[in-house]
Amino acid sequence: MHTKTSSHDIERRLTNFLPSEALEDHADAVGVVERDRKLQIPPLVWSFAFGFAGGASRTL
């Protein structure tokens, strides 16, 4: 039987799947960040991932 998953549980699963440290390390390795400023890579990645989940109508 399927149980309802809470938003906290979903967040925990996603952040375990792609931890912030791994995202930051990868961003440094590929040269996404040239200067260490206010931009935080993990929230940017999650914004893109969930922002474009709405369908084909979303573009950059």
pLDDT, one tens digit per residue, over 39-56 is 777 888 888 777 766 666
Q: pTM of the entire structure? A: 0.47
Contact 41, 21 (CB under 8 A): no
Q: For residue 23, how many other CB atoms are within 10 A of its CB?
A: 19
Q: For residue 12, how many other CB atoms are within 10 A of its CB?
A: 11
pLDDT of residue 13: 85
45 CB-near residues (< 8 Å, 6+ apart): 18, 23
Percent of the chain with pLDDT over 70: 77
